[in-house]
Amino acid sequence: MQKSDVAPDLENADADIDVYGWVLEHRTVDEDAVAAGTGLDPVEVSRSVERLRASRLLHVSPVDPSVAFAVAPDTAAEQLVAPLEARIRDQQREISGIREDLGRFLPRYLGRRSTRESLEVLESLEDVRGALNRASLKCATEMLSSQPGGGSRVPEAMQEALRRDETMLQRGISIRTLYHHTARFNGPSQAYVAATSALGAQYRTAHELFGRLIAFDRELAFIPVADGSWGAVVIREPSTVAYLCSIFDQTWDLASPFSAAAGQGLEEVAREIHETIIRLLAAGLKDEAIARRLGMSLRTARRHIADIMHELGAGSRFQAGVAAAARGLLDPDPEAEQAAEAEGAETT
């Protein structure tokens, strides 16, 4: 339907309003009378009357064509939109019918869906990389990533991830990544963050992370397999993916921007790592568990532990805990305590 069929042309709105007002007062569409009263050309008056009639704003008497009545705009609008609304209702009924007809096939489809479609195990690094590349190409809105380890990723994997991330960022995809605090001291990680941050990616760090995760559009998630190999589990089940993304969001809100890792920022990070190690020592965790929790190498973790033991003048973990408590270094931290208890249970 053309615009002239439903409303006066905006280019001639002033003339149409003048003619409408004249008819409203004088109830006539006599061209000469309207032209004299409005100052418009008779031809222009004739065209305006036609537009107003098409818009249902004028009703001409069937007995005397020179007699006309101005119609209330809301009444005219109702006359024009009534057939449109009728067509919309028909289309809505048609849409509902299509959904109802095809919906009958849904139980059969869901019944045939295999576990593999919602949960898939990729055993080799090559398969994981291929699946990540395919997921990044299909990604439409955002990618979330938790990368524990303080930047200890395989260089080849980091280069491939860099190319993948740059391509997504250039397409306007939102990228948010969590690292351990220790990544701030890692040169390759610093370069990686600098390169992708310039394109809009966001990075934060925390002293502890929940584990490795890569999620695309909150619809597809990759988590590591439990055997510690380079394999991955691909999850498509909506509730599970939503749960993982929710954990990411909560950790993200409590994490610190990567860009703050300079000057006092580094001192703050070092302090948090120091305090966390003290808590985990007091909770009885072994060196290997502490290193894994904080995303650092076992050698680095043991160096930190040795420095703390020396600072506290302790000859054992028990003595270190007592000394730390005496100095007020073991303030209650429910989340850390619960996590430590869980980690300790795993290592026993």
Question: What is the 3 state secondary structure string of 18-59?
Answer: HHHHHHHHHCECCHHHHHHHHCCCHHHHHHHHHHHHHCCCEE
How much is the pLDDT for 336? 46
How much is the pLDDT for 331? 59
How much is the pLDDT for 168? 93
Q: What is the mean pLDDT of residues 71-78?
A: 91
DSSP string, 239-256: HHHHHHHHHHHHHHHHSE
Crossing angle of helices 298-312 and 317-326, in 10° steps, is 60
pLDDT band at 148 (very low <50, low <70, confident <90, very high): confident
* CA count, 13 A, side-chain hemisphere, 229: 13
- C-alpha–C-alpha distance, residues 305 and 299, integer Å: 10
**3 state SS of 224:** strand
The H or E element spanning position 324 is: helix 317-326
Q: In angstroms, what CA-CA distances link 45 with 3, 52, 58? A: 19, 10, 13
- pLDDT tens for 12-61 read 788 899 999 989 999 988 888 888 888 888 899 999 999 999 999 999 88
List of residues 6+ apart from 317 with CB closer than 8 A: 281, 282, 284
Range list of β-strands (E), 130-211: 142-147, 174-180, 202-206
pLDDT band at 153 (very low <50, low <70, confident <90, very high): low
How crowded is residue 123: how many other Cβ atoms within 10 Å of its Cβ? 13
- C-alpha–C-alpha distance, residues 9 and 31, integer Å: 20
DSSP 72: P
**3 state SS of 111:** helix
Range list of β-strands (E), the chain: 58-60, 68-70, 119-122, 142-147, 174-180, 202-206, 213-216, 220-224, 232-235, 256-257
Structure tokens at 323: 């000394």
- C-alpha–C-alpha distance, residues 180 and 176, integer Å: 14
DSSP 71: P
- pLDDT tens for 158-183 read 777 888 899 999 999 999 999 988 78
DSSP 2: -
How crowded is residue 169: how many other Cβ atoms within 10 Å of its Cβ? 18
How crowded is residue 303: how many other Cβ atoms within 10 Å of its Cβ? 12
How much is the pLDDT for 268? 67
Q: Using the predicted structure, report yes or no on whether residue 108 has a pLDDT greater than 90.
A: no
pLDDT band at 2 (very low <50, low <70, confident <90, very high): very low
